[in-house]
Structure formats: structure tokens, C-alpha cells
Amino acid sequence: MIYTVTLNPSIDYIVRLDQLVSGITNRTTSEEYYYGGKGINVSCVLAELDLDSTAYGFVAGFTGKAIESGIRNDHIITDFIKLKHGVSRINIKIKAGQETEINGQGPHISDSELERLLQKIDRITDGDTLVLAGSIPNTMPDDVYERMMERVKDKKVRIVVDATRQLLVNSLKYKPFLIKPNRQELSEIFDTEIKTEDDIEHYAKELQKRGAQNVLISLGGEGAMLIDEFGVKHKAGVLKEKVVNTVGSGDSMVAGFVAGYMKQHDYGYALKLGSVCGNATAFQNGLATREKIDELMHKFDREFPNKI
């Protein structure tokens, strides 16, 4: 089983306007909403790839009920801790020429409620995959990911970490199966400017020396690079379509990589499917769908026949 953790889920409410004028009533031209949170995004894309996962995390109030019912399907088991107080957050994305975001704080999580989540982590067994994605809410202890990894360190569990800077660095002692920094995060970790492909490879291998098994570096418009556990470098290009959405693209890449590896146990294929899933989200509103993934897989093979 694949387990994803989303500590602070949200409903992302997207409103589009011709222009935003402060001090008056503005009228939208359209609205959309999505169930958000990096772990939830991973679960949703895994479901499009016909892989089952269990979504862990915290929900509260009427928005929490909406999130839980909204993502539950044949391939996603929702097993959230239901908080007694507060409501799960609503993040507002205003698109009016420029994009303005107003992100909610989210509910307070008590020590006892956190302990209930850790007890769920204890159920994870040999052969399972644990995906830890996103930042930690400022109402929670900043070592919560480490506490989770500590609970499974003596089991044969694939740990996937998609988090920024210190959260990622602190995970390395647990020898995660996969980490996914981008170029900027790699630069911040080593406090240096990373300019070339050789630089990227060098510092990715430094992270492997510290414990990471596989390092997947997303490079935006330049594609992605993987340094696998055997020290082999793989590269994936970017398909040429109009980018309409960047939210969830990295999470989709993680889902595709995990699915690709689990299906074929081949790192080249895992990188290709991860890249395609990231593109499939970037080229449409909302997360990658199976239809878009299949379309882009064929396109990827045509445009990059000798890649990976």
C-alpha cells in the first residue's frame, strides 16, 4: 500500500476576474475549486494511474467533510484524523492578470491528535510506501516528519520526501527512497549557485552521500534529472504545450515516478512517467487525468525517442 500524508489539507478556491480593483465589489468571470494539499494531490494522480493509496492527515469542520468526501474513490482510502475544533482551510487564488493567493492558517492540532496520526503510521509494514509532501504547519512541531520516519525506520518501507530545505535535509539520515528538490532548493541546501548540469549532478550525489537513495531534480522548463541509487544519470525533456497551471505539477511528478517504479522497477521508465504526469497537470486546469497522461506518453515517445 502507498500512504500519503497531508498535514494541512485545503479547498483551493480559484476565482477569475478581468481585473481586481480594491475598495469595490468585484464580479468573477468564473470559479473553480479543488481539494488541495501535496499528499492529497499525489493520491489523486496515483488513482488516475489505477494505484491504490491511503490518505492520512487531519481534517476539521464542514470543509474537512467536503475534502474527505471529495477525494474518496475506488483507489483512495481516506483515513484522516477528524479534529474536534476548527475547520480545514480554504485557500483563495485570485487570477486577474496577475495571480494573488490568500492561504488559510488551518486548524490547531493538539499533541494527542498528532499522536493518533503517529499510531496510524505504526500500521505501515514491509513493502509499503510512505509519501511525506509539503511544509509543516506552524502550529505543529517542526520535527513531525522525523517522528514519522522514526516509526518505520526498522521496516522495509520506501520513504518519499518532497519538502523544502531543512525538512528535506533532516530526512536524509532515514535513507529515503526518493527525494525531489528543485534546482533552487538544491542551491539553498548547499548555499551555492548551481549553474550547470554537472553542478546539479554533483550536488545530487552529495545528497546521496548523506543518505538519499534516489534524487529527482525538477528543472522547470528544462525538464528533470534523476540520479538513481546506482549513480546513473537519467534526463527527461519537457513537452511543448501552453502551461496553464503549475499548482500540483511537482506532486504529479512524484506520483508518476512512484507509479512507474512500482509497475516496472525501472528508473528510466519511472522518470518518464513522472515527467509526463507533471506535464499533464501543467497543461490543464486541475490535476493530471488518465486521458491526458496517455496522450502525453505517446507524445513524449515521439518527441524524445532516445531519451532516458
Q: In terms of DSSP H, where are the helices of the chain?
A: 38-48, 61-71, 111-121, 144-152, 165-171, 183-190, 197-209, 249-264, 267-282, 290-303
DSSP 173: G
* Catalytic annotation, pick one of 251, 266, 294, 301: 251
Q: Is 251 a catalytic residue?
A: yes
Nearest Cα neighbor of 71 from 56, 85, 81, 86 is 56
CB 234 within 8 A of CB 199: no
CA 307 – CA 69 distance, rounded (Å): 40
Q: Which three cell numbers stand for residue 221?
A: 522548463
| Burial of 55: CB neighbours in 10 Å, binned 0-12, 13-18, 19+ | buried
Q: What angle do CA 15, 74, 7 make, to 5 degrees?
A: 55
DSSP-derived pairing of the beta strands 129-133 and 158-162: parallel
CA 268/CA 165 separation, integer angstroms: 26
Of all helices (H) and strands (E), which one includes residue 96?
A: strand 89-96
The number of beta carbons lying within 10 Å of the beta carbon of residue 199 is: 16
Strand partners of residue 14: 32, 93
The residues annotated as belonging to the active site are 251
